[in-house]
A and B are shown apart, each in its own frame.
Chain A
Amino acid sequence: MASPPDHFLLVGHAQDAVCQMVGAALEECGYLVTVTSAPLAAPFSLRWRITNERMKDTKGWSGVDFDFEDIAGVLLRPSAGVGTPDGWNAKDLAYMQIETQAALLAWVCDLRCPVINQPSADVWFRPQRTYFEWHSHFVRCDLPALEHLCVTNDIGEARAYAQYFDGRATYAPLTSLSRYAVTEPHHWEELAKVMVHVPVCLLPPANGRSTYATVIGEDVVWNQNITFDASPMEPGLVMLAKTLRLDFIQIEVSTGLGGVYCVTADPNPLLERHDAGAQSAIIAKLVERLQSDHPASQKLPREVIALINRREFAA
């Protein structure tokens, strides 16, 4: 009797474009696919025992018609978490979401099948970083980075900063992807009001539209209409993904007076930032990686790696 086809678990919202397209591609290959944003709640069932020895753990987990042993690969998207049970109040639901997120992180970090992405706690709970943090990562990976950043709550300092750019700047809140041009007098008045409450992060004025590079393992996918030679950046982009221990990451790239530079990165890439050709290429690479037994997909938490490194260093 033929064994049943491999089963892939896509953890994310059913409307997520990555889940939809990866799911369709896997099904086209003859695999079974389950898409859910809440794999640790009914109708799924988790029975995970953690013991002193990993080999003695039992990883009980079952879906509607399949078990843990059937999972061939997992795709983890940012909308993963808990469902929206009827009748719950907002406080209880928020608590349950936090609890489930915590459980899901540990669960995926202990999976041995390919997982995209298998994040560290730092990336899982803090996927968005400030421009300063991304800047450090880019520099360390020999990537061109945004050159002039400023955080201040002093309007005089902010105006002095803008003098480098003919009195213009971009206000970029640290906790959102929004950016606001600061060019007109009334923009400065508004910025001053914000600065009463929080220091603001200023970037140089935008010179052109951003484009995106998406790294999938060792591969980098760009939009077809990019106007610069992207190949010199690709080793650095792959190194960035490795440094963050991610298989799938998207980097915002822009052009300015000094040339091409990286602005931010997103550990939860969006297909919508790419043209159709690039989207197809990304999906093909993701499917290929999910099917592989690539060692990078069986990673230990970074803290465990640090423990091992410490012992090797001591020895």
Chain B
Amino acid sequence: MILVCGSLTDIVTELFCARLEKLKYDYRLIDLGVYPDRYQVKWTCEQEIRTGSIAAQGWHVELRDVTGVFARYVGERTRKCTTLSGDLSDAAAFELQAGLMSLWEHLPCPVANRIGGALSNHSKPYQLLIIRQTALRIPETLLTSDPDAARAFYEEHAGRVIFKSVSGIRSVVRCMERSDIDRLSHLRNGPAQFQAFVPGDNVRVHTVGEEVFATRVHSDAVDYRYAHQQGASVEMEPIELPPFVGNACLELADAMDLTVAGIDLKVTPEGEWYCFEVNPSPGFAYYEQHTGQPISAALAETLRRGPVHAQTWERSLPMT
């Protein structure tokens, strides 16, 4: 039995549920939009033995029967208004999410993804420290709170510099322009991240367990996710990766304890492979719809198959 924890207002969750339906795999949806109102949950820990169940109208699942979990936390905005207001409502949403994350963290089955492994994405420079241990290159990066250093970096790279958020907050990646230099004085309040622009095509890699799906993206936009808003076009095609690149992607996903990962690469005209970040909550629906790659089917199979090795609750504890 697969548990899907998310909201059908999220296109990725919707696609994954549709895939499970099509494959006729058993699954149950914990709809975060109506959780916990329409569910009865109980999980206990007696000495070292953990048991529990989740039930809703017409179904009841024992946790020991769960073979895999797909979890996407799309924020409290998808949760319907409760009678609570303001801070109390936020606190309740936080408490709800903490309970579910904590439960998935220790289930002895594949979970896409556990929160512990996902948190490296909250610091992009932290991820760079990990990525550079692989065969992939990282763009030359400057983290600075010094306007002069940022200016010098801009000149050194002939104005071909991009900036983006340091944290996991989603931001539009864009090239720095000369007019931005006037705003560099704000850096004194805290550092920003600048990267040398890497020419070439974007390649998005999704890893699912030991499987790799790569998509080459042809676009003139700096951040192709927003290409249409910027009047640019996007074309995608599935590609085969050089083995060393595929292996590096699998290494990263494994090291970060990610059952599914979206890895952002760029291949230069000279054939060098750069890696920018590893996304623990990838929007694979977008790529699957454009290329037909069976990403959701691979994930469904991974979660249906269950643990590769027999695990107990305690052995499943991820290393922190």
Contact = CB atoms under 8 A, between A and B. Distances in A.
A133 B116 CA distance: 11
B91 interface: yes
B209 to A, nearest CB: 14
Contacts of B47: 147
Given A49-B141, A103-B166, A40 B41 contact: no
A46 B146 contact: yes
B124 A102 contact: yes
Contact of A42 (B45, B142, B143, B145): B145
B57 to A, nearest CB: 14
Contacts of A153: 36, 39-41
Given A174-B102, A175-B98, A105 B319 contact: no
Given A46-B145, A103-B143, A197-B84, A126 B115 contact: yes
B159 interface: no
Contact of A132 (B41, B102, B146): B102
B132 A54 contact: yes
B143 A50 contact: yes
Contact of A121 (B42, B95, B122, B169): B122
Given A126-B119, A153-B41, A106 B189 contact: no
Contacts of A38: 190
Interface in A37-65: 38, 40-42, 44-54, 60
A168 B84 CA distance: 27
Contacts of A98: 167, 169
Given A149-B44, A154-B42, A175-B94, A52 B116 contact: no
A165 B106 CA distance: 27
B125 A50 contact: yes
B46 A133 contact: no
Contacts, number: 241
A124 B125 CA distance: 14
B234 interface: no
B251 A96 contact: no
B168 A102 contact: yes
A307 to B, nearest CB: 5
Given A50-B141, A174-B102, A198-B92, A42 B48 contact: no
Given A102-B125, A174-B102, A107 B143 contact: yes
A147 B129 contact: no
A4 B140 CA distance: 34
B126 A151 contact: no
A152 B41 contact: yes
B96 A102 contact: no
B126 A197 contact: no
Interface residues of B, number: 75
Interface string A180-215: 000000000000000011110100000000000000
B20 to A, nearest CB: 25
Contacts of A285: none
Interface in B121-153: 122-126, 128-130, 132-134, 137-138, 140-146, 149
B156 to A, nearest CB: 10
B60 interface: no
Nearest to B274: A52
A109 interface: yes
Contacts of A16: none
A103 B125 contact: yes
A101 B131 CA distance: 20
Nearest to A309: B255
B313 interface: yes
A151 B43 contact: yes
Interface string A13-56: 00000000000000000000000001011101111111111100
A139 B313 CA distance: 11
A244 B320 contact: yes
B189 A45 contact: no
Interface string B88-116: 00011011101100110110000000011
Nearest to B124: A102
Interface stretch (A229-237, A288-296, A298-306): A298-306
Nearest to A97: B190
Interface in B42-76: 42-48, 50, 52
A152 B53 CA distance: 10
Nearest to A128: B98
A99 B320 contact: no
B320 A106 contact: no
A82 B146 contact: no
16 contacts: A41-B188, A46-B143, A54-B132, A100-B191, A102-B124, A106-B129, A132-B50, A132-B106, A136-B317, A137-B317, A151-B44, A152-B41, A175-B91, A243-B319, A301-B120, A308-B133
Interface of A: 38, 40-42, 44-54, 60, 82-83, 85, 88, 95-96, 98-103, 105-107, 109-110, 120-126, 129-130, 132-133, 135-137, 139-140, 147-154, 157, 161, 173-175, 196-199, 201, 243-245, 301-304, 306-308, 310-311
Interface of B: 36-37, 39-48, 50, 52, 82, 84, 91-92, 94-96, 98-99, 102-103, 105-106, 115-117, 119-120, 122-126, 128-130, 132-134, 137-138, 140-146, 149, 165-169, 188-193, 251-252, 254-257, 313-314, 317, 319-320
Given A103-B123, A175-B98, 7 more contacts: A38-B190, A49-B142, A109-B129, A122-B116, A139-B48, A161-B44, A307-B251
